[in-house]
Homo-oligomer: A and B are copies of this chain.
Amino acid sequence: MQRYFIHTDITTNEFTLPTEVFHHAIKVMRNQVGAQLELVGPDQLVKVVELTAIEPEQAQAKLVETLTAKPELPVQVQIICGISKGDKTEKIVQKGTELGAAQFIFYNGARSVAQWNTKKAVKKVDRLQKIAQGAAEQSHRVVVPEVLYCQSLDEVLTAIETADYRTVAYEESAKQGETSQLAQIVQKIKAQLQAKPQAPCRLAAFFGPEGGFTPAEVQTLQAQQVVASGLGPRIMRAETAPLYLLAALSFGLELA
């Protein structure tokens, strides 16, 4: 069933289909009376609704049921990536959304081959935010991850002030055989989620651009208590490492 994110919660049993949904569901997808859709509002509840009347400029719908499935990763993960060239940022947002990321922050790394200026960043973030929404709909999530741009690593550090845990995927750590930090973080998150199941739990995870981090960048992060984690003994591309982290967190927290 097609899922749509809407700006205002559905609070009545019969209602006018939100304008943003009307266009796609009726004009583009040509749904007919009787067709069912899923609408997700800011309350993160999935409402299954059925079309009851279609007029030229609007449509009426009724509530069928409210789903209770919880598709969100129990830890809110901020994926922080140095800007890479080509469509790599898009792939990170698309696949990272499928894998449960809560937020994406892109920054100009010292070794980023592509750098964004403020004007370019506005366009890019806008496009990436649309990709996040499409991927969130397709993967049946109830939250659209937010996409942010920071000019520098210092600016990122301000954006992650509320994070409970901070880690950086540093290639040198993996090369030196670091194999325990990520598992330790997963155990700490598990313990925190059991102790305070209602409180949000946040992890900020840093990834370099294609060229990796400079020693100065790693020093900046380490001075802020960002822990270097190895992600296994194979060298991954810049766009693969965030996907590994998200899948590992899902396995460690949702399945194991």
List residues of chain A with CB under 8 Å of any chain B CB.
69-71, 95, 98-100, 138-141, 179-180, 182-183, 186, 230-237, 240, 243-245, 247-248, 250-252, 254-256
Contact = CB atoms under 8 A, between A and B. Distances in A.
Given A240-B98, A244-B99, A252-B251, A138 B183 contact: no
A212 to B, nearest CB: 13
A95 B240 contact: yes
A118 to B, nearest CB: 32
Contact of A235 (B139, B231, B244): B139
Contact of A255 (B183, B247, B250): B183
Contacts of A250: 231-232, 234, 244, 248
Nearest to A251: B248
Contacts of A251: 182-183, 232, 244, 247-248, 251-252
A138 B255 CA distance: 31
Nearest to A237: B98
What is the predominant secondary structure among interface residues of chain A facing chain B?
loop
Contacts of A186: 256
Given A69-B233, A98-B240, A183-B251, 8 more contacts: A98-B236, A138-B235, A183-B255, A183-B256, A240-B243, A243-B243, A243-B244, A252-B256
A236 B182 contact: no
A254 B233 CA distance: 8
A182 B71 CA distance: 18
Contacts of A232: 100, 250-251, 254-255
Contacts of A140: 234-235
A255 B248 contact: yes
Nearest to A243: B243
A256 B252 CA distance: 9
Nearest 9 CB-CB pairs, A to B? Answer: A247-B247, A248-B251, A244-B247, A183-B256, A71-B233, A232-B250, A139-B234, A139-B235, A140-B235
B256 A100 contact: no
A138 to B, nearest CB: 7
B179 A254 contact: yes
A186 B234 CA distance: 19
Contacts of A179: 254-255
